[in-house]
């Protein structure tokens, strides 16, 4: 898996650049890590449909050597914490990335 994703990234298939965070340090929420972009996109669709606070954030698809991170950029660190608390209260996993 690792080698395949590196090869894909090397040839430029994964070209989506994540938006720069606008809310400063601590304003990024990691919603999950997935084997591929399709899984991350499905997770975004499900989470943003279920949680209006997630839908209002900027989606970030971030490749890393082990797969794809699904993150979202909040307006502020306080907003990021609130969204993550809401997700956790509903049984979802997340954390505020530093």
Domain of 57: which CATH number? 3.30.70.1070
The per-type count for the chain, helices as H runs and strands as E runs, is: 4, 4
Domain range for residue 67? 2-97
Residue 70 CB partners (closer than 8 Å, separation 6+): 30, 31, 32, 33, 34, 40, 43, 44, 59, 60, 61, 62
Share of the chain above pLDDT 90, in %: 72
Domain count, the chain: 1
Report the pLDDT value the prediction gives residue 85, as an integer from 0 to 100: 97
Mean pLDDT of 22-36: 84
- Whether residue 20 has pLDDT greater than 60: no
What is the per-residue pLDDT across 44-85, written as a single tens digit (0 to 9) for each?
A: 999 999 999 999 999 999 999 999 999 999 999 999 999 999
Report the pLDDT value the prediction gives residue 24, as an integer from 0 to 100: 56
Report the pLDDT value the prediction gives residue 26, as an integer from 0 to 100: 76
* Positive or negative torsion for Cα 19, 22, 26, 29: negative
């Amino acid at each position: 898996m690792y080698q395949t994703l590196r090869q894909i990234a090397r040839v430029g298939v994964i070209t989506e650049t994540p938006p720069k965070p606008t809310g400063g340090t601590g304003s990024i929420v990691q919603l999950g890590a997935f084997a591929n972009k399709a899984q991350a996109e499905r997770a975004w669709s499900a989470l943003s449909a279920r949680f209006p606070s997630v839908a209002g954030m900027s989606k970030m698809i971030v490749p890393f050597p082990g797969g794809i991170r699904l993150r979202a950029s909040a307006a502020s660190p306080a907003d990021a914490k609130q969204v993550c608390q809401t997700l956790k209260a509903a049984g979802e996993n997340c954390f505020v990335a530093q």
